[in-house]
Homo-oligomer: A and B are copies of this chain.
Amino acid sequence: MLPLMVESRIRHFKWEVNYLPWSPDCSTESLLIAINGHFPGPTIRARAGDAIVVELHNKLPTEGVFESPWADGTASISQCAINPEETFIYRFKVDKAGTYFYHGHHGMQRSAGLYGSLIVEVAEGKQEPFHYNAELSLLLSDWWHQSIYQQMVDLHSKPFRWIGEPQSLLIEGKGRHNCSLKAYEEDKNKDPDLVPTTLCPKNNKSECAPHVLQVEPNKTYRLRIASVTSLASLNFAFGNHKLVLVEADGSYIQPVTVESLDIYSGETYSLLLHTNQDPSTNYWASASIISRHPKTPPGLAILNYRPNPSSLLPRSAPPTPPKWNDTARAIAFARKIVADPLRNTNPPASAIHRIVLLNTQNKINGYTKWAINNVSLVLPATPYLGSIRYGLHSAFDFHTNPPEDFPENYDIFRPPQNPNATTGNAVYKLKLGSTVDVILQNANLLTEGTSEVHPWHLHGHDFWVLGFGDGRFNWQRDAARFNLKDPPRKNTVALFPYGWTAIRFVADNPGVWAFHCHIEPHLHMGMGVVIAEGVDRVRNVPRDVLGCGMTRRLIGPHGP
């Protein structure tokens, strides 16, 4: 008998990125950025330990692209954008089972649809610490009818033009604009055979037909769910069903039963759904906006109990979303996410490097910006990884250490006294292997009485979420109450209005990494920082990620 071989595999994907005329909410057709003609992009599914090879060919006629899968780089941070007609080969290993996604990270290309799911199953022979019969997956996103080019121009206009709330929320890339359940039901009264191939009954396009989750009664499903929204923070729920959360951002959490899931842009969760309700009907799945005054109807999908037809309209209404501005509820939800201590390592007991990042809305030369400790990030033309690794120090503000705190007398409950910030591109230099605490500190916007949620995402690392609090962070008082017992490991975490969020991570991944608000227009307006650690240890910067900006100086000796 042959021994059982558990081998890791290489999984090859061949992608072509191009424009796709599409209307995900059956409103006016516009240009999406799609992969192999699909929106959302194809799902990458692998097992822990596998090697992933994605051969990406950029067919956009003039735009560079950049994908950020688990390889986790970013144009201008770790590599040059992939030029039109160029092929770039991503190679990365997926060493940790979990639910992830990939997305474009150049300009606002994520808002144009350049994203998809990345699912890593446990290695062969290994078991998940929970049981389920089958698996489902959902990507949540938001959609504007304005092109991303117009959105980028608007965000950089004087006077400022905000992109506004999304026209639609999409579930698995499908939504519906400007039509209601009510309209559907009225039409259904006239035509009882009407099937909700779309919730806009007059419109039979499949783009916006609601997504259908097919389930059998009395089973347990693992639903992998990710939010790639550009702006919206979401609350997701099923009618009549509770959810058991078991995984967040690729780490196991203590299973917790909830009525609904708060999910911020950049976050992923796995939840268990028990199909234990009346099997004679279907149920709604619903994604609703929280943390901003909602002007967008909920995104809906159908939980289809087989053998009911998927066209059977749920008997009960979609779940009622929580109050959008109930921050106490949202923080209480966030605190429910704690690590499964058996399956996670705890953080080091203390940090040697403490950084406080004040989040403010500012003005720079009359333009509206976001700034961190009064510096609004403007990425240089030369990717940091190349410029630091090869000593091209004039490619950015190499010698400046960006501020690691903000003035004592700054009042986070008032608009900034001096709203003017500066632009910058300096890098937080971290000692390789050091433990770092970062306090994200929220504050009042330019307008009195307003503060917003920001989901912060760190590339290249998982961090521990040590705590959330109201008001201004105080090291003496608040650090003492850090959760060091079962802090969840995440790569994205929400910063709540007028509050603080504390995270800890070990700077153990040589490279240059972005840490930024995952709200696309906020990042575009400067809401991020860049960290670097152990860049001298990066042995192989492939030529394929160089060639733009000052890395051209490396051309030779056959060159000029």
| Chain A residues packing against B (C-beta within 8 Å) | 19-21, 31, 61-65, 76, 80-81, 83-87, 106-109, 147, 149-150, 152-153, 157, 379-381, 390, 524, 540-544, 546-549, 551-560
Contacts and interface: CB of A to CB of B under 8 A. Distances in A.
Given A19-B153, A85-B380, A555 B557 contact: no
Contacts of A106: 62
A544 B542 CA distance: 19
Nearest to A65: B62
B547 A551 contact: yes
Chain A to chain B: the 10 pairs with minimum beta-carbon distance, closest first:
A547-B547, A62-B107, A85-B381, A61-B107, A554-B559, A543-B552, A86-B381, A547-B552, A62-B63, A554-B555
Specify which of A76, A81, A548 lies most central, judged by the most chain B CB atoms within 10 Å of its CB: A548
A541 B81 CA distance: 23
B379 A61 contact: no
Prevailing SS type, chain A contact patch: loop
A557 B556 contact: yes
B81 A81 contact: no
B548 A83 contact: yes
A425 to B, nearest CB: 10
Nearest to A154: B21
Given A21-B153, A62-B63, A547 B541 contact: no
Contact of A86 (B20, B152, B548): B548
Given A546-B559, A553-B543, A555-B543, A81 B62 contact: yes
Given A61-B108, A107-B61, A549 B83 contact: yes
How many copies are assembled? 2
Contacts of A555: 543, 546-547, 551, 554-555
A381 B61 CA distance: 11
B549 A62 contact: no
Contact of A149 (B19, B108, B547): B19
Contacts of A157: 21
12 contacts: A62-B107, A62-B109, A63-B63, A81-B83, A83-B381, A83-B549, A84-B107, A542-B560, A543-B555, A543-B559, A547-B547, A547-B552
A85 B395 CA distance: 12
Given A61-B149, A81-B84, A547-B552, 8 more contacts: A19-B149, A61-B108, A81-B83, A84-B381, A147-B147, A542-B560, A543-B553, A557-B557
A542 B558 CA distance: 12
A233 to B, nearest CB: 25
A107 B18 CA distance: 14
Nearest to A544: B552
B83 A21 contact: no
Contacts of A147: 31, 147, 149
Contacts of A542: 560
A527 to B, nearest CB: 16
Given A19-B149, A31-B153, A558-B390, A83 B64 contact: yes
A150 B20 CA distance: 9
Nearest to A29: B150
B64 A559 contact: no
A62 B21 CA distance: 19
